[in-house]
């Protein structure tokens, strides 16, 4: 009997499980893998929210944001004004276009680079703000799911929603006749003749 006990102790005893350890060489422990995956995802979300975290903005930042929003509308309004001036005063428009012909080609290239960098940088800022807001939203998901489940459990048709549990006083107050005149009138209107 002692030999069998020692043999089982060698495989399953001593605080170790040789069968489990041998199997884990060939196949990942699912529970440990899920724990590692959750830890990695939590770390990534923490890093993401720290990177794109909210910072207090001063008057200068707000002023610069307002200033950064001016060029695009100004360009659109300017182009529409040129089209309108071409219809109302073609001579004036033609004089201005003749002046643009004298602008050297390298200056046009420079204008294209400046405008491209401006719009590219603005796009990058907006993309980063979107990622930050997405990270904030994703960090709220577990709380929202919990709130929805709590609210659904409060519905009138949820199983056991009217259960008084072990509270005898509450159970008695629920089954007692009410002396509320409105309830009494309603009960009398529902009684069979």
Domain count, the chain: 1
Q: Which domain holds residue 39?
A: 1-51
pLDDT at position 17 is 66
**Section 172-191 average pLDDT:** 78
pLDDT at position 14 is 58
Give yes or no for residue 47 having a pLDDT over 60.
yes
Say which residues have a Cβ less than 8 Å from residue 190's Cβ, sequence separation at least 6: none
pLDDT tens-digit series, residues 8-24: 666 665 556 666 777 77
- Kindly write down the DSSP assignment for every residue of 95-124, as one continuous string: HHHHHHHTS-HHHHHHHHHHHHHHHHHHHH
Residue 125 per-residue DSSP state: H
pLDDT tens-digit series, residues 125-137: 777 888 888 788 8
The answer to whether 12 touches 6, Cβ cutoff 8 Å, is no
The answer as to whether 38 is a domain residue is yes
The pTM assigned to this predicted structure is 0.34
The answer as to whether 32 is a domain residue is yes
Both structure tokens of 182: 């409105």
pLDDT at position 80 is 92
pLDDT at position 152 is 80
Give yes or no for residue 168 having a pLDDT over 80.
no
The answer as to whether 9 is a domain residue is yes
pLDDT at position 183 is 80
The answer as to whether 168 is a domain residue is no
pLDDT at position 81 is 92
Burial 37-67, CB ≥16 within 10 A → b, else e: eeeeeeeeeeebeeebeeeeeeeeeeeeeee
The answer as to whether 45 is a domain residue is yes
The answer as to whether 26 is a domain residue is yes
CA distances from 18 to 1, 30, 67 (A): 21, 17, 69
The answer as to whether 23 is a domain residue is yes
């Amino acid at each position: 009997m002692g030999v069998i006990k020692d043999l089982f102790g060698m495989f399953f005893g001593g605080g170790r499980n040789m069968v489990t350890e041998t199997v884990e060489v060939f196949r990942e422990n699912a529970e440990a893998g899920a724990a590692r995956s959750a830890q990695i995802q939590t770390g990534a979300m923490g890093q993401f929210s720290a990177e794109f975290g909210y910072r207090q903005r001063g008057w200068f930042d707000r002023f610069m944001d307002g200033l950064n929003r001016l060029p695009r509308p100004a360009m659109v309004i300017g182009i529409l004004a040129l089209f309108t001036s071409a219809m109302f005063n073609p001579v004036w428009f033609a004089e201005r276009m003749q002046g643009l012909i004298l602008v050297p080609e390298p200056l046009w290239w420079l204008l294209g680079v400046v405008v491209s960098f401006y719009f590219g940088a603005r796009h990058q800022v907006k993309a980063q703000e979107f990622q930050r807001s997405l990270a904030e939203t994703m960090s709220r998901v577990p709380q929202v799911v919990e709130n929805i489940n709590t609210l659904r459990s409060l519905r009138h048709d949820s199983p056991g929603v009217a259960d008084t549990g072990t509270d005898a006083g509450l159970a008695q107050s629920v089954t007692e006749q009410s002396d509320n005149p409105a309830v009494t009138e309603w009960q009398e209107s529902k009684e069979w003749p």
